[in-house]
Each structure stands twice: as C-alpha cells, then as structure tokens.
C-alpha cells in the first residue's frame, strides 16, 4: 500500500504556520476505516506480525500514526498493544513486516538507534535506575555524549562542557515536571507516580518527535493523574506526536485526537474518540454497554440506575445474580451540587455495598493489580 503524496497531505511548510492545539483539519485523508491513510503520518506500518508459538500476538495489515496529534491505542488485555510498541521501537523482532518513521525504514533497527532518531517510549513498569539519583537518571537520557566513549572519558576538557549543557537541560525538565526538589534523591525513593514523571521527563532528553507512553496512568494516584494529563497535552502543544496505551476511557475521551482499537492482534477500528466509542463492535469487544457513564456525575448514575431497573424487570430470575442493583446505585448517588453522605469505605476502597454474589476483594491478595500484556 503506497504512502499518499505530499500534495495530498496538505502539510504546512513551517511549524509556525499552525497551532497544534487548535488545528481542526481532518486527520484521515479519506474514508475512516481500520488502516485508513492519514493526512500527515509520522509512522507507517505494513504487514507487521508477531507470533508466540501458535498465538498471533500482532497481525497489523496497515497502520498510520498522525503527526502532531495525540493517538490512543486501546483494547482488552492481550490485544497486542504492548507487543506492537516493542516491535516499533526495536525491543522485539517481528515475524514479518516493515515500518517507517519520518519516511525512514526502521524495521530491524536497534532500540537505542530508534531513540536517537527521535522515537522514544516509556514502559508499563517504569525502568528508572533506582540506585542512581534523579539527576543522574536524567543525564543518562541524553544521547551522543562524548564522555561515554572510552577514548575520551579520561579527558574532561572534551566532555565537560557538554555535560554542563545536559545538566542545564535536565534541570529545566525537572522543574517542568515538579521533580526539581528530588534531583539529589535516589530514584528508588520516588513514589510510583513520581517514577512515571521521571521516566517521561527522561525520555524528553533526546528532544523526540514521537513519544510513546505505555499505560502512563497505571498505578498513579489521583493527585498526580492531572499532572500527567497536563504534561501529555503540553507535548502536543510543543509540536511532538504522542501515541499512548490506556484503559481509562475518560482520559482517552478527553485528550485523544484519534483512537486506534486492537483486538486479538488486529486493528479492528479507528477514528475520533466519539465515533469509536459508538462503534458496536468496539462496545461489544471492549467497552461494554455502559462505558459512557461518568460515575462522578449524579445524573449519570441515576440514568444508569433507571436502565438497570428496566433490565431487571425484563428478566425473570435474576435476583442475586451478582449484578449491581439499581437501588444501590440510586442510594449511593449524591444529589446534584451536594457532596455524598459520609460512609464507611467498602473493602475495595470505594463507598457502597457488595451484591450478594460479589466476592470480598479485600480478602484476595493482589486483587487490585491489573494484568499486563
């Protein structure tokens, strides 16, 4: 499948000609469908496959990632999202396929060379160096350091000036990510959310063009969630492209410009968030019937309660079947504009009651851990 010509891309000549945050031009170059062409892709992948034994983990016929946009890659656990990340960034080897970054074929290119080209990624489980300080971790992220070469390491006059520049760059990023107070602390002392911030900040040391984030919100407490969201949006504002894997549909709905859906290794849908989340195939395979209900909204909870009442009335013999009953939802919903009544936290950390058929999650070890791919 050929790449659309530059004329069909309609790309502005310079970055100053467009505000990436307010750009409303269509992302797709034609009809929106799985594998559709984009007006200006930064990554193009074709016939990329990866199997483990008899299981096809990735089977992507064609995929383009739009430049200067925030693209969400969603799908159930085991869909192949992280494996695709690993393939594109050189951390794994495909059975077949080719892909280009900025028009350059990078299939088979080592991961560190891919990063130097401006295509960086983070991981589900952070890869910070716990026995190094936060600042030392940041310095490691810079590429092409003269002092890394044995022939020059003994001569500080050669690399001392570069190290000073790298330290200044790292200081600016640590201040931006509000980690400057931790610069001399060991990375092992950071919280999970702070490690996510450090890994994201370190990835920016190479001044990337594409930042790939693998579940950036996993394990992050609510206090840092908004900070991470703001940083992701800032990446786009600064002209970078973002591709991220995420299961939080509220986050996807609010910050993604484009959504790609994977299931069983294949691209099954893509498009703007609002359109993808209405796709019946996506709802059945991944989102669920009530995925669009905001559980922080009292009216939304009441509407869901009414739907569940109708469902219960239409089904015979479903009492104590383990579903959340509508009366529980209605009882727990706060009145609009009023805080909820104080109550005893449920075993899973939220207010409410368990239905008769629901197990006590507090008695299950590691019950809050989410499976990874």
Q: What's the token pair of residue 141?
A: 């992220």
How do residues 23-44 score in pLDDT, each as one tens digit?
778 898 888 899 999 999 999 9
pLDDT at 164 over 60: yes
Residue 6 pLDDT > 50: no
- Return the percent helix, strand and coil in the chain, to nearest 5: 40, 20, 45
pLDDT of residue 302: 62
- What proportion of the chain, given as a percentage, has pLDDT over 70? 66
Quote the mean pLDDT of the chain: 77
Q: pLDDT tens across 195-250, in order?
A: 999 999 999 998 999 999 998 888 777 778 888 888 999 999 999 999 999 888 88
- Residues 182-187 have a mean pLDDT of 94
Q: Tell me the C-alpha distance between 147 and 133, whole Å.
A: 19
Give the pTM: 0.69
Query: What digits encode the pLDDT tens for the residues 99-144?
Result: 999 999 999 999 989 998 999 999 888 888 889 999 999 988 887 6
Half-sphere exposure at residue 335, Cβ-oriented, CA atoms within 13 angstroms: 2
CATH of 6-128+208-287 among 1.10.4030.10, 3.60.15.10, 3.40.50.450, 3.40.50.300: 3.40.50.300
Quote the pLDDT of residue 114. 93
Among 214, 182, 222, which Cα is nearest to 198's?
182
Inform me whether the pLDDT recorded for 174 exceeds 60. Answer: yes
Residues 6+ apart with CB under 8 A from 337: none
Which residues pair with residue 96 across a beta bridge?
49
d(CA 49, CA 96): 5
Higher pLDDT, 116 or 304: 116
Boundaries of every domain in the chain:
6-128+208-287, 131-189, 298-362
């Amino acid at each position: 499948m050929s790449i659309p010509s530059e004329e069909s891309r309609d790309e502005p000549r310079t970055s100053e000609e467009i505000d990436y945050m307010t750009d409303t031009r269509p992302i797709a170059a034609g009809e929106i469908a799985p594998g559709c062409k984009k007006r200006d892709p930064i990554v193009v992948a074709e016939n990329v496959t990866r199997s483990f034994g008899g299981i096809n983990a990735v089977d992507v016929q064609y995929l383009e990632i739009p430049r200067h946009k925030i693209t969400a890659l969603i799908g159930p656990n085991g869909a192949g999202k992280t494996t695709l990340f690993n393939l594109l960034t050189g951390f794994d080897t495909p059975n077949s396929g080719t892909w280009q970054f900025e028009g350059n074929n990078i299939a088979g290119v080592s991961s560190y060379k891919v990063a130097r080209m401006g295509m960086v990624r983070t991981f589900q489980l952070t890869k910070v160096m716990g026995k190094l300080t936060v600042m030392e971790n940041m310095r490691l992220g810079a590429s092409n350091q003269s002092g890394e070469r044995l022939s020059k390491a003994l001569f500080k006059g050669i690399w001392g000036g570069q190290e000073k520049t790298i330290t200044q760059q790292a200081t600016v990023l640590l201040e931006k990510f509000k980690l400057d107070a931790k610069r001399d602390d060991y990375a092992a002392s950071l919280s999970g959310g702070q490690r996510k911030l450090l890994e994201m900040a370190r990835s920016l040391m190479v001044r990337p063009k594409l930042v790939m984030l693998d579940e950036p919100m996993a394990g992050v407490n609510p206090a840092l969630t908004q900070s991470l969201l703001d940083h992701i949006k800032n990446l786009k504002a600064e002209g970078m492209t973002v591709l991220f894997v995420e299961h939080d549909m509220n986050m996807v709905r609010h910050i993604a410009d484009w959504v790609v859906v994977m299931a069983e290794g294949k691209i099954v849908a893509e498009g703007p968030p609002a359109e993808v989340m209405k796709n019946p195939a996506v709802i059945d395979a991944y989102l669920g019937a009530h995925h669009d209900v905001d559980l922080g909204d009292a009216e939304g909870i009441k509407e869901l309660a009414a739907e569940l009442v109708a469902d219960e009335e239409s089904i015979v013999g479903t009492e104590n079947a383990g579903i959340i009953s509508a009366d529980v939802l209605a009882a727990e919903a706060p009145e609009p504009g009023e805080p909820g009544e104080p109550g005893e936290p449920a075993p899973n950390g939220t207010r409410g009651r368990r239905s008769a058929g629901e197990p006590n999650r507090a008695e299950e070890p590691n019950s809050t851990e989410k499976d990874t791919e």
